Structure 1
Amino acid sequence: MAGKNPGWPLRECCGAARACRAPGPKPQSTLQSSCTLRYASSYITNCTRPSMRGLPMLTPPFKLSACGMAALGAAVSAGALQSGDGQCCGHDHVREENGGAAHAQARTRLYQLDTHLHCSVIGTCLSPAELRKLMGRHMDIKGKTDLELHHQAVGLAHENGDLSKAIHKALDQRHAAVIKGFAAAQDEAALEAAWKQAWQQGEIPGAYWALLTHKCTSFALRQMAFGEVHMLSHLMGSANRHELKRFVALEKENLELQDKLERERQRHHQSQLERDALAGQLRQQSLDFEARLSQLRAGAAPGGETRPDDASALVGVHTERRERAERAAEQAWAEAGRLQQMAEQLQQRVQWQAEELAAAEKELHRAATQPQAPDAAQQQALQGRKLLYVGGRPSSTPAIRDHVQRHGGEFLHHDGGLETRKGLLAAQLPRVDLVVFPVDCVDHDSVVNLKRLSERHGVPFIALRTASLASFAATVARELAPPDAGTRTTSASHFCLRHG
């Protein structure tokens, strides 16, 4: 500051101060000018000191009056805020260099990330249970929902406080292995390659946190990862809504089948009681007939004398009654057998419904907790298999295709002859390992042709109860499970749920 004379603002300030201290009422403009000039004077003086720290505040945190603005502008134009040796700018440059060196040596902290990233980081990289446990150490969480805790955590993440540090530490501990793998990347290209590999493997939470906090991550790379995670949340929400709708429909259908089965059981039980009662009556009548016949044969008929004509007529009547009772018993037995068969069929349908419900619930749970992680049983059943799906509905076929491909299988589709030529079925079938078709969405001729071709080429086939993803997943888990899992392995099936 050598050669600069900031004395004129000081003199102006002192004059204004003397005007303020003079007796009598002071105009409001005089008071504002006095305070403004005193602030400008002290501020300019502090800025000229060699030992200043940081940049001078060229914009004060209040609105200057017209007089103060003129004085401060004159001081700036006169060079009162310029340093002769460039210490101010040099100091800022040194601070940037020091800050850049520190940033190059350490990962980015949670509070240092852009605030619009905190929601996706906390929602993707921490489960609701982990966040609730963590928040419980720092505040009262009684009665609060997961959404409320999420909002509070996001709102406090930008502060360099205890909660932000605790969340950062918990994320580092949970995803330590992924962070260690990303630490080997030394430039942005390596980081992007590691992110794409983690994305393909379904390791989204750990890779997302490791990428955002890596020392070499640029703003553009952060925005790219944020956009992909954001769109993934939309896709998962749409898939979850579809599965939830299907799950509710299956639950309703299952309840209806259970009610129908219970009514059939009651009817079957009532028929058994009636059959047993009728059988008891027949046995008693038979005993009575035999006793009566013995009496007649012995000549001890009631009324005194034996009358052969009456005895023959009585035997004929009782014989007719017995035959009629036997026919009624046979009909009762036939009805009981029919009801028993119907009950067994309903029981089988209830079992299939339960398996489909379990598969749908398992898929919903997996989609909510680990969107990209494949199911172990489905992975073991479909890994490396080439599957031909015949028939089906356009609304559910894409979901089944995605399910097969996500678990390591290859999916081929033939619509049964609606748009695809039936001749292609014979060309596709020898190249596959398994044929699957829903009995409710394929015509009888295609099923007969499919059975004949499958038996000719030795390719196993499975009939699905419906064309839904839940029915597909449950049937695959049941039919293709390994022998040590307690279920049978599939072979060339000769039984169709609809066509026989």
Structure 2
Amino acid sequence: MCLPSGESSTPTVIGLPQLSNRQKLWQIESAYHCSIIGTCLSVTELRQVASKFNLMAESNATDYELHGLFVQSAYLQTDSIRLINRLLEEKYSQTVKQFNNASTELEMAHLWNEAVDNGDVAGAFWAIIARYNVSDRLVQRVIGEVHMLSHLSGARCHGGSNLREEKMPTNNAYEINTQLAGERLRKQATEIVTLRAENKRQHRLILDLEELVAKSK
């Protein structure tokens, strides 16, 4: 992947790799929580955490509802979010270590390029987004590409193309979630049309009955 327009080739030192370089999930900008939860964690993992802490009142909660639950609470330092953060760090520990060894932002950008080419987007995304001292330029680039990958995953489900020809992140929940969400939306749209038709029929029936009663008087 080419560096974005205007990105300098001069290495930017981003500090020595150390534990303090890592942000916790609740410390990360809340605008990024949706992408983090959707990209880096599977629905199964979310359900396991939700079950452990009895977070869902209904066991048949949809994937979207489950996703929303964690996105909306990711800014809180609760036990469940602490567990989510630990899960992310453990799940992507090797990738995080690899990115932590990068001493310049240019090195991190190259690692990101390789991750996208190899379909290892989720781990690289978490490694970058949770790290301190990463420039807004690189963060926005990564966020933007993950965002477009989520759209193109949906397009792929309908026979469309993808960002890097045959390369797509196969280790995150986006493709599955997008397809399921699309199916749910189509089903809900059909149900809405059916309900509207039924409401019109019921309304017409009521009018007919009222007219019949009026004539019988």
- Equivalent positions of 1:279-358 (< 5 A) are none
- SS of 2:52 mapped into structure 1: coil
In structure 2, which of residues 11, 22, 31 is the aligned counterpart of residue 107 of structure 1? 22
How far apart, CA to CA, are the structure 2 residues paired with 1:164 and 1:118? 11
- Asked if the contact 1:156/1:163 (under 8 Å) is kept, the reply is no
Equivalent residue for 1:180, pick from 81, 93, 97: 97
* 1:147-296 alignment, distance < 5 Å: 147-242=64-159
Q: Which residue of 2 aligns with 1:124?
A: 39
Indicate if the aligned counterparts of 2:21 and 2:132 stay in contact, CA closer than 8 A. yes
- Judge conservation of contact 1:192–1:221 (CA < 8 Å) in 2: yes
Cα distance, 1:369 vs structure 2: 4.9
Letter of the 1:150 counterpart: H
- Give 2:108's aligned amino acid: L
2:76 aligned partner, one-letter code: E
Shift of 1:119: 0.4
Q: TM-score, normalised by structure 2?
A: 0.62
Aligned residue identity for 1:119: C
> Any conservation in 2 of the 1:104–1:216 contact (CA below 8 Å)?
no
> Any idea what SS the aligned residue of 1:242 has?
coil
The answer to whether the aligner puts 1:133 opposite 2:48 as a matched pair is: yes
State the 1:143 CA deviation: 2.1
The alpha-carbon deviation at position 113 of structure 1 amounts to 1.1
What secondary structure is seen at the aligned counterpart in 2 of 1:136?
helix
Q: Kindly state the Cα deviation for residue 104 of structure 1 after the two structures are TM-superposed.
A: 8.4
TM (norm. structure 1) is 0.28
Alignment length (residue pairs): 147
Name the amino acid aligned to 2:150: S
The residue correspondences of 1:338-417 to structure 2 (distance < 5 A) are: 369-370=170-171
Distance 1:106 1:130 in 2: 25
Note the aligned Cα RMSD (angstroms). 2.3
- State how far apart, in whole Å, the 2-side matches of 1:109 and 1:222 are: 16
Contact 1:188 1:217 in 2 (8 A): yes
Task: Supply the distance in 1 between the matched residues of 2:91 and 2:111 (Cα, whole angstroms).
Answer: 18
Structure possessing the higher relative contact order (Cα contacts under 8 Å, 6 or more residues apart): 2
Q: Distance in 2 between matches of 1:198 and 1:177?
A: 13
Distance of 1:116 and 1:127 partners within structure 2: 20
**CA radius of gyration, larger in:** 1
Task: From the superposition, tell whether residues 224 and 209 of structure 1 become closer, same or farther in structure 2 (CA, over 3 Å).
Answer: same
SS, match of residue 158 in structure 2: helix
d(CA) in 2 for partners of 1:138, 1:370: 25
SS at match of 1:147: helix
Farther-moved stretch of structure 1 (135-144 vs 168-177): 135-144
Task: Tell me the percent identity.
Answer: 34
